[in-house]
Structure 1
Amino acid sequence: MIDDCTALVLAGGDSRRMGQDKAALILDGKTLLERVTAVMQQVFPKVIVSVRQLRSDVGVPQVCDAQAASGPLAGLIAGLAEADTSWVFAVACDMPFVTREIVLHLAALRGGYQAVVPVVGGHLQPLAAFYAAGARDAMRASLAAGDRSLRGALEKLDVRYVDEAELRDADPQLRSFFDLDTPQDLQAARER
Protein backbone atom coordinates (compact mmCIF):
# COMPACT_ATOMS: atom_id res chain seq x y z
CA MET A 1 0.00 0.00 0.00
CA ILE A 2 1.06 3.55 -0.72
CA ASP A 3 0.05 5.09 2.59
CA ASP A 4 0.90 8.73 1.86
CA CYS A 5 -1.44 8.88 -1.12
CA THR A 6 -5.14 8.80 -1.95
CA ALA A 7 -6.42 7.46 -5.26
CA LEU A 8 -8.76 9.82 -7.09
CA VAL A 9 -10.86 8.22 -9.83
CA LEU A 10 -12.18 10.89 -12.17
CA ALA A 11 -15.70 9.98 -13.30
CA GLY A 12 -17.35 13.32 -14.01
CA GLY A 13 -16.73 13.79 -17.71
CA ASP A 14 -19.28 14.59 -20.41
CA SER A 15 -18.60 11.41 -22.42
CA ARG A 16 -19.55 13.31 -25.59
CA ARG A 17 -17.62 11.12 -28.01
CA MET A 18 -18.81 7.93 -26.33
CA GLY A 19 -22.43 9.08 -26.36
CA GLN A 20 -23.17 7.66 -22.89
CA ASP A 21 -21.79 7.70 -19.36
CA LYS A 22 -18.37 6.01 -19.59
CA ALA A 23 -18.23 5.18 -15.89
CA ALA A 24 -21.27 2.90 -16.28
CA LEU A 25 -20.04 1.03 -19.38
CA ILE A 26 -19.60 -2.71 -18.87
CA LEU A 27 -16.33 -4.47 -19.66
CA ASP A 28 -15.86 -8.10 -18.63
CA GLY A 29 -18.88 -7.99 -16.33
CA LYS A 30 -17.92 -4.85 -14.41
CA THR A 31 -18.44 -1.16 -15.01
CA LEU A 32 -15.39 0.85 -15.98
CA LEU A 33 -15.69 2.68 -12.66
CA GLU A 34 -15.75 -0.61 -10.72
CA ARG A 35 -12.72 -1.94 -12.62
CA VAL A 36 -10.53 1.10 -12.02
CA THR A 37 -11.68 1.49 -8.41
CA ALA A 38 -10.86 -2.16 -7.68
CA VAL A 39 -7.28 -1.73 -8.95
CA MET A 40 -6.85 1.46 -6.90
CA GLN A 41 -8.07 -0.34 -3.77
CA GLN A 42 -5.21 -2.83 -4.21
CA VAL A 43 -2.67 0.01 -4.02
CA PHE A 44 -4.11 2.77 -1.83
CA PRO A 45 -5.77 2.71 1.60
CA LYS A 46 -8.26 5.37 0.49
CA VAL A 47 -10.06 5.85 -2.83
CA ILE A 48 -12.26 8.82 -3.74
CA VAL A 49 -14.36 9.23 -6.89
CA SER A 50 -14.66 12.69 -8.41
CA VAL A 51 -18.09 13.27 -9.97
CA ARG A 52 -20.13 16.17 -11.30
CA GLN A 53 -23.10 15.05 -9.22
CA LEU A 54 -23.37 12.31 -6.62
CA ARG A 55 -23.90 8.79 -7.96
CA SER A 56 -25.68 5.87 -6.31
CA ASP A 57 -23.47 3.20 -7.92
CA VAL A 58 -20.23 4.10 -6.12
CA GLY A 59 -19.04 2.16 -3.09
CA VAL A 60 -16.37 4.67 -2.03
CA PRO A 61 -16.46 8.33 -0.94
CA GLN A 62 -17.32 10.87 -3.63
CA VAL A 63 -16.40 14.49 -4.15
CA CYS A 64 -18.16 16.91 -6.49
CA ASP A 65 -16.43 19.54 -8.58
CA ALA A 66 -16.50 22.91 -6.81
CA GLN A 67 -16.67 24.72 -10.15
CA ALA A 68 -19.13 23.17 -12.61
CA ALA A 69 -18.24 22.51 -16.25
CA SER A 70 -14.52 23.03 -15.65
CA GLY A 71 -13.29 19.62 -16.75
CA PRO A 72 -10.83 17.25 -15.10
CA LEU A 73 -8.82 20.10 -13.58
CA ALA A 74 -11.80 20.98 -11.35
CA GLY A 75 -12.18 17.32 -10.41
CA LEU A 76 -8.51 17.08 -9.52
CA ILE A 77 -8.66 20.24 -7.41
CA ALA A 78 -11.72 18.90 -5.55
CA GLY A 79 -9.94 15.60 -4.96
CA LEU A 80 -6.80 17.29 -3.67
CA ALA A 81 -8.94 19.36 -1.28
CA GLU A 82 -10.75 16.24 -0.01
CA ALA A 83 -7.68 14.02 0.38
CA ASP A 84 -5.96 13.97 3.76
CA THR A 85 -2.70 12.64 2.32
CA SER A 86 0.32 14.41 0.88
CA TRP A 87 -0.24 12.90 -2.57
CA VAL A 88 -3.10 12.01 -4.90
CA PHE A 89 -2.93 9.55 -7.77
CA ALA A 90 -5.46 10.73 -10.34
CA VAL A 91 -6.79 8.22 -12.85
CA ALA A 92 -9.64 8.46 -15.34
CA CYS A 93 -12.42 5.90 -15.00
CA ASP A 94 -12.10 5.19 -18.74
CA MET A 95 -8.65 3.59 -18.35
CA PRO A 96 -9.77 0.02 -17.58
CA PHE A 97 -6.37 -1.63 -18.01
CA VAL A 98 -4.39 0.50 -15.54
CA THR A 99 -2.22 -1.84 -13.49
CA ARG A 100 -0.96 -1.93 -9.95
CA GLU A 101 2.58 -2.28 -11.34
CA ILE A 102 2.46 0.97 -13.33
CA VAL A 103 1.09 2.86 -10.32
CA LEU A 104 3.86 1.53 -8.06
CA HIS A 105 6.46 2.37 -10.71
CA LEU A 106 5.25 5.97 -10.98
CA ALA A 107 5.03 6.28 -7.19
CA ALA A 108 8.73 5.50 -6.88
CA LEU A 109 9.55 8.59 -8.99
CA ARG A 110 7.81 11.21 -6.81
CA GLY A 111 10.80 12.40 -4.78
CA GLY A 112 11.27 16.17 -4.98
CA TYR A 113 8.53 16.81 -7.54
CA GLN A 114 5.01 18.24 -7.44
CA ALA A 115 3.73 15.83 -10.10
CA VAL A 116 4.74 12.64 -11.90
CA VAL A 117 3.19 12.44 -15.37
CA PRO A 118 3.62 9.68 -17.97
CA VAL A 119 4.21 10.55 -21.63
CA VAL A 120 2.94 7.97 -24.15
CA GLY A 121 3.14 8.39 -27.91
CA GLY A 122 4.36 11.93 -27.36
CA HIS A 123 1.20 12.79 -25.39
CA LEU A 124 1.03 13.70 -21.73
CA GLN A 125 -1.11 11.39 -19.59
CA PRO A 126 -2.22 13.75 -16.78
CA LEU A 127 -5.15 11.47 -15.93
CA ALA A 128 -2.86 8.66 -14.82
CA ALA A 129 -0.49 10.71 -12.72
CA PHE A 130 0.61 11.61 -9.21
CA TYR A 131 0.04 15.10 -7.78
CA ALA A 132 1.40 16.51 -4.52
CA ALA A 133 -1.15 18.16 -2.24
CA GLY A 134 0.93 21.33 -2.45
CA ALA A 135 0.18 21.61 -6.18
CA ARG A 136 -3.45 22.49 -5.45
CA ASP A 137 -2.85 26.25 -5.08
CA ALA A 138 -1.16 26.52 -8.49
CA MET A 139 -3.98 24.52 -10.04
CA ARG A 140 -6.62 26.71 -8.41
CA ALA A 141 -4.83 29.82 -9.68
CA SER A 142 -4.73 28.36 -13.18
CA LEU A 143 -8.46 27.61 -13.11
CA ALA A 144 -9.26 31.04 -11.62
CA ALA A 145 -7.33 32.63 -14.49
CA GLY A 146 -9.64 30.87 -16.93
CA ASP A 147 -7.28 28.05 -17.95
CA ARG A 148 -9.24 24.79 -17.55
CA SER A 149 -6.41 22.77 -19.08
CA LEU A 150 -4.53 20.24 -16.97
CA ARG A 151 -1.59 20.71 -19.30
CA GLY A 152 -1.61 24.44 -18.59
CA ALA A 153 -1.63 23.76 -14.85
CA LEU A 154 1.32 21.37 -15.25
CA GLU A 155 3.37 24.22 -16.71
CA LYS A 156 3.19 25.88 -13.28
CA LEU A 157 4.49 22.79 -11.43
CA ASP A 158 7.79 20.98 -10.98
CA VAL A 159 6.95 17.84 -12.95
CA ARG A 160 8.79 14.56 -13.43
CA TYR A 161 7.80 13.39 -16.92
CA VAL A 162 8.13 9.64 -17.44
CA ASP A 163 8.85 8.49 -20.99
CA GLU A 164 7.74 5.28 -22.66
CA ALA A 165 11.06 3.49 -22.15
CA GLU A 166 10.74 3.92 -18.38
CA LEU A 167 7.05 2.99 -18.40
CA ARG A 168 7.68 -0.25 -20.30
CA ASP A 169 9.62 -1.58 -17.31
CA ALA A 170 6.27 -1.88 -15.50
CA ASP A 171 3.87 -2.21 -18.44
CA PRO A 172 5.65 -3.56 -21.56
CA GLN A 173 2.66 -2.99 -23.87
CA LEU A 174 1.59 0.28 -22.21
CA ARG A 175 -1.95 -1.09 -21.85
CA SER A 176 -2.46 1.01 -18.72
CA PHE A 177 -2.76 4.09 -20.93
CA PHE A 178 -5.44 2.75 -23.27
CA ASP A 179 -8.49 4.94 -22.67
CA LEU A 180 -12.01 4.56 -23.95
CA ASP A 181 -13.25 7.70 -25.66
CA THR A 182 -15.42 6.30 -28.45
CA PRO A 183 -17.64 3.27 -29.11
CA GLN A 184 -14.81 1.95 -31.30
CA ASP A 185 -12.42 2.14 -28.33
CA LEU A 186 -14.90 0.17 -26.23
CA GLN A 187 -15.17 -2.48 -28.94
CA ALA A 188 -11.37 -2.71 -29.16
CA ALA A 189 -11.19 -3.12 -25.37
CA ARG A 190 -13.74 -5.93 -25.48
CA GLU A 191 -11.68 -7.71 -28.14
CA ARG A 192 -8.48 -7.56 -26.07
Structure 2
Amino acid sequence: MDISGIILAGGKSSRMGVNKALLHINGVPAIQRIKDVVQGLVSELLLATNEKDMYEFLGGRIVGDIVKDKGPLSGIHSGIHASATDRNLVVACDLPFLSRPVTAELIRIAANVNADAVVPIIKGKIHPLFAVYRSTILPEAERALENNRLKMLDLLRSLAVYEVTEKDFLRGGVEEALIQRAFFNMNCPEDYERAVAEEAKLTARKA
Protein backbone atom coordinates (compact mmCIF):
# COMPACT_ATOMS: atom_id res chain seq x y z
CA MET A 1 0.00 0.00 0.00
CA ASP A 2 1.14 3.52 -0.77
CA ILE A 3 1.58 4.96 2.71
CA SER A 4 3.75 7.57 4.39
CA GLY A 5 5.42 7.23 7.75
CA ILE A 6 5.32 10.15 10.18
CA ILE A 7 7.55 9.94 13.25
CA LEU A 8 6.58 12.39 15.99
CA ALA A 9 9.64 13.92 17.64
CA GLY A 10 8.26 17.16 19.02
CA GLY A 11 7.41 16.22 22.59
CA LYS A 12 8.79 18.10 25.60
CA SER A 13 9.69 14.89 27.47
CA SER A 14 8.75 16.65 30.72
CA ARG A 15 8.29 13.42 32.69
CA MET A 16 11.55 11.96 31.41
CA GLY A 17 13.59 15.10 32.11
CA VAL A 18 15.65 14.67 28.93
CA ASN A 19 14.81 14.22 25.25
CA LYS A 20 13.53 10.63 25.19
CA ALA A 21 13.83 10.37 21.40
CA LEU A 22 17.61 10.54 21.73
CA LEU A 23 18.01 8.14 24.65
CA HIS A 24 20.19 5.21 23.64
CA ILE A 25 19.02 1.62 23.77
CA ASN A 26 21.92 -0.75 23.15
CA GLY A 27 23.93 2.14 21.71
CA VAL A 28 21.26 3.35 19.29
CA PRO A 29 18.95 6.36 19.81
CA ALA A 30 15.33 5.33 20.33
CA ILE A 31 14.20 7.38 17.35
CA GLN A 32 16.80 5.72 15.11
CA ARG A 33 15.45 2.29 16.11
CA ILE A 34 11.96 3.41 15.15
CA LYS A 35 13.12 4.89 11.85
CA ASP A 36 14.93 1.65 10.95
CA VAL A 37 11.67 -0.30 11.43
CA VAL A 38 9.36 2.12 9.64
CA GLN A 39 11.53 3.15 6.70
CA GLY A 40 11.33 -0.13 4.81
CA LEU A 41 7.54 -0.30 5.10
CA VAL A 42 6.50 3.12 3.79
CA SER A 43 6.80 5.00 0.51
CA GLU A 44 8.08 8.16 2.19
CA LEU A 45 9.27 9.00 5.69
CA LEU A 46 8.59 12.29 7.44
CA LEU A 47 9.89 13.52 10.78
CA ALA A 48 7.52 15.91 12.55
CA THR A 49 9.59 18.24 14.72
CA ASN A 50 10.43 21.91 15.19
CA GLU A 51 14.01 21.04 16.15
CA LYS A 52 15.49 20.41 12.73
CA ASP A 53 19.16 20.58 13.74
CA MET A 54 18.70 17.97 16.43
CA TYR A 55 17.42 15.32 14.02
CA GLU A 56 19.30 15.96 10.78
CA PHE A 57 21.48 12.92 11.55
CA LEU A 58 18.48 10.72 10.67
CA GLY A 59 18.53 11.90 7.08
CA GLY A 60 14.76 12.04 6.59
CA ARG A 61 12.46 14.83 5.47
CA ILE A 62 11.73 17.12 8.41
CA VAL A 63 8.37 18.87 8.75
CA GLY A 64 7.79 21.67 11.26
CA ASP A 65 4.47 22.40 12.93
CA ILE A 66 2.03 24.58 11.01
CA VAL A 67 0.29 25.31 14.31
CA LYS A 68 2.95 25.43 17.01
CA ASP A 69 2.89 24.38 20.66
CA LYS A 70 -0.22 22.22 20.40
CA GLY A 71 1.27 18.83 21.27
CA PRO A 72 1.15 15.62 19.21
CA LEU A 73 -1.91 16.79 17.29
CA SER A 74 0.21 19.56 15.76
CA GLY A 75 2.76 17.04 14.52
CA ILE A 76 0.12 14.72 13.10
CA HIS A 77 -1.65 17.60 11.37
CA SER A 78 1.56 18.99 9.86
CA GLY A 79 2.86 15.57 8.84
CA ILE A 80 -0.34 14.58 7.06
CA HIS A 81 -0.56 18.02 5.46
CA ALA A 82 2.93 17.50 3.99
CA SER A 83 2.36 13.87 3.07
CA ALA A 84 1.95 12.79 -0.54
CA THR A 85 -0.25 9.80 0.35
CA ASP A 86 -3.79 9.32 1.60
CA ARG A 87 -2.82 6.91 4.38
CA ASN A 88 -0.21 7.78 6.97
CA LEU A 89 1.42 5.66 9.65
CA VAL A 90 1.98 7.84 12.72
CA VAL A 91 4.54 6.67 15.29
CA ALA A 92 5.62 8.38 18.52
CA CYS A 93 9.34 8.54 19.24
CA ASP A 94 9.13 6.67 22.55
CA LEU A 95 8.40 3.13 21.35
CA PRO A 96 11.84 1.50 21.60
CA PHE A 97 10.63 -2.05 20.90
CA LEU A 98 8.57 -1.32 17.82
CA SER A 99 9.04 -4.24 15.43
CA ARG A 100 8.61 -4.83 11.74
CA PRO A 101 5.99 -7.64 12.09
CA VAL A 102 3.70 -5.51 14.29
CA THR A 103 4.09 -2.42 12.10
CA ALA A 104 3.59 -4.33 8.86
CA GLU A 105 0.45 -5.99 10.20
CA LEU A 106 -1.04 -2.67 11.27
CA ILE A 107 -0.39 -1.30 7.78
CA ARG A 108 -1.92 -4.42 6.20
CA ILE A 109 -5.06 -4.12 8.31
CA ALA A 110 -5.36 -0.41 7.48
CA ALA A 111 -5.21 -1.20 3.76
CA ASN A 112 -8.28 -3.40 4.04
CA VAL A 113 -10.67 -1.21 6.03
CA ASN A 114 -12.52 1.98 5.20
CA ALA A 115 -11.93 4.26 8.18
CA ASP A 116 -10.41 7.65 8.94
CA ALA A 117 -8.21 6.10 11.60
CA VAL A 118 -7.00 2.57 12.37
CA VAL A 119 -6.00 2.56 16.02
CA PRO A 120 -4.68 -0.29 18.22
CA ILE A 121 -6.24 -1.04 21.59
CA ILE A 122 -3.88 -3.29 23.56
CA LYS A 123 -4.74 -4.53 27.06
CA GLY A 124 -7.67 -2.13 26.96
CA LYS A 125 -5.45 0.91 26.33
CA ILE A 126 -5.85 2.95 23.15
CA HIS A 127 -2.71 3.95 21.23
CA PRO A 128 -3.49 6.96 19.00
CA LEU A 129 0.23 7.72 18.56
CA PHE A 130 0.94 4.42 16.83
CA ALA A 131 -1.88 4.34 14.31
CA VAL A 132 -2.79 4.86 10.67
CA TYR A 133 -4.64 8.03 9.68
CA ARG A 134 -6.09 9.05 6.36
CA SER A 135 -5.85 12.57 4.96
CA THR A 136 -9.61 12.81 5.52
CA ILE A 137 -8.90 13.72 9.16
CA LEU A 138 -7.35 17.09 8.26
CA PRO A 139 -10.54 19.19 8.51
CA GLU A 140 -11.37 17.76 11.95
CA ALA A 141 -7.75 18.12 13.08
CA GLU A 142 -7.72 21.75 11.99
CA ARG A 143 -10.98 22.45 13.83
CA ALA A 144 -9.59 20.81 16.95
CA LEU A 145 -6.42 22.91 16.80
CA GLU A 146 -8.42 26.11 16.23
CA ASN A 147 -10.61 25.35 19.24
CA ASN A 148 -7.69 24.19 21.40
CA ARG A 149 -9.17 20.68 21.74
CA LEU A 150 -5.83 18.94 21.75
CA LYS A 151 -6.55 15.53 23.26
CA MET A 152 -6.24 12.76 20.69
CA LEU A 153 -9.20 10.93 22.21
CA ASP A 154 -11.40 13.96 21.54
CA LEU A 155 -10.32 13.95 17.91
CA LEU A 156 -10.98 10.22 17.55
CA ARG A 157 -14.56 10.71 18.74
CA SER A 158 -15.19 12.84 15.65
CA LEU A 159 -13.71 10.27 13.23
CA ALA A 160 -14.64 6.90 11.80
CA VAL A 161 -12.27 4.67 13.77
CA TYR A 162 -11.39 1.01 13.24
CA GLU A 163 -10.01 -0.56 16.41
CA VAL A 164 -7.26 -3.18 16.23
CA THR A 165 -6.82 -5.57 19.16
CA GLU A 166 -4.32 -8.24 20.17
CA LYS A 167 -6.53 -10.82 18.45
CA ASP A 168 -6.16 -9.02 15.12
CA PHE A 169 -2.37 -9.03 15.37
CA LEU A 170 -2.36 -12.69 16.44
CA ARG A 171 -4.58 -13.61 13.49
CA GLY A 172 -2.01 -11.94 11.27
CA GLY A 173 0.68 -14.26 12.62
CA VAL A 174 2.39 -11.79 14.97
CA GLU A 175 3.82 -13.35 18.13
CA GLU A 176 2.25 -12.34 21.44
CA ALA A 177 5.62 -11.26 22.88
CA LEU A 178 6.26 -8.93 19.93
CA ILE A 179 2.82 -7.35 20.35
CA GLN A 180 3.30 -6.60 24.03
CA ARG A 181 6.84 -5.25 23.54
CA ALA A 182 5.86 -3.01 20.63
CA PHE A 183 3.39 -1.04 22.74
CA PHE A 184 5.78 -0.36 25.60
CA ASN A 185 6.52 3.35 25.69
CA MET A 186 9.07 5.33 27.68
CA ASN A 187 7.56 8.20 29.66
CA CYS A 188 9.78 8.46 32.74
CA PRO A 189 13.30 7.47 33.87
CA GLU A 190 12.00 4.19 35.33
CA ASP A 191 10.59 3.26 31.94
CA TYR A 192 13.94 3.95 30.31
CA GLU A 193 15.77 1.83 32.87
CA ARG A 194 13.30 -0.97 32.21
CA ALA A 195 13.84 -0.66 28.45
CA VAL A 196 17.62 -0.85 28.82
CA ALA A 197 17.31 -3.92 31.07
CA GLU A 198 14.88 -5.59 28.68
CA GLU A 199 17.15 -4.96 25.70
CA ALA A 200 20.09 -6.42 27.62
CA LYS A 201 18.06 -9.58 28.27
CA LEU A 202 17.08 -9.86 24.61
CA THR A 203 20.69 -9.36 23.49
CA ALA A 204 21.95 -11.99 25.96
CA ARG A 205 19.27 -14.43 24.78
CA LYS A 206 20.39 -14.05 21.17
CA ALA A 207 24.12 -14.44 22.01
After TM superposition, the score normalised by the length of structure 1 is: 0.94
Query: Who wins on radius of gyration, i.e. which is larger?
Result: 2
Q: CA deviation at 1:53?
A: 2.5
Matched residue, 1:119:
121
Partner of 2:107: 107
Asked whether the 8 Å contact 1:109–1:160 carries over to 2, the reply is no
Structure 1's consecutive aligned runs of 4 or more residues displaced over 3 angstroms after TM superposition are none
> Is residue 43 of structure 2 the alignment partner of residue 45 of structure 1?
yes
Give CA deviations for 1:109-150 in whole Å, capped at 9, x if unaligned: 222111100012221101110000111111111121210111
CA distance in 1, matches of 2:196, 2:128: 24
Structure 1 residue runs without a partner (length 5+):
none
Determine the structure 1 residue equivalent to 2:190: 184
* Preserved contact between residue 119 and residue 162 of structure 2 (Cα < 8 Å): yes
1:16 is aligned to 14
* Aligned amino acid, residue 167 of structure 2: A
1:168 Cα deviation after fit: 3.9
Number of corresponding residues? 190
* TM-aligned CA deviation for residue 65 of structure 1: 1.1
Please list the CA deviations of residues 78-137 of structure 1 after superposition, one character each: whole Å capped at 9, or x if unmatched: 000010011110001110111111122112222211110001222110111000011111
What letter matches 2:160 in structure 1? D
Alpha carbons 2:45, 2:61 under 8 Å: kept: yes
Deviation readout 1:142-171 (Å, 9 max, x if unpaired): 121210111111111100011222234424
Identity %: 28
**1:85-104 counterparts in 2 under 5 A?**
85-104=85-104
Indicate whether 1:69 and 2:73 are aligned. no
Provide structure 2 residue ranges, at least 5 long, that are not aligned to the other structure: 199-207
* Mean CA deviation greater in 52-61 or 123-132: 52-61
Which residue identity does 1:152 align to in structure 2? D
Letter in 2 for 1:126: P
Is the 2:46–2:61 contact (alpha carbons within 8 Å) kept by the matching residues of 1?
yes
Q: Where does residue 161 of structure 1 map in the other structure?
A: 163
Cα offsets for 1:19-73 (capped at 9, x unmatched): 0011111111111111101111121121111112313333101111112210000
Please give the TM-score of this superposition, normalised by the length of structure 2. Answer: 0.87
Alignment of structure 1 residues 128-147 onto 2, 5 Å: 128-147=130-149
Q: Distance in 1 between matches of 2:145 and 2:73?
A: 8
CA distance in 1, matches of 2:94, 2:57: 16
Select the residue among 164, 167, 172 that pairs with 2:176.
172
Q: Identify the range of structure 1 (50-59 vs 75-84) with the bigger mean alpha-carbon deviation.
A: 50-59
For 2:193, give the aligned amino acid. Answer: Q
Letter matched to residue 129 of structure 1: A
CA distance in 2, matches of 1:190, 1:125: 22
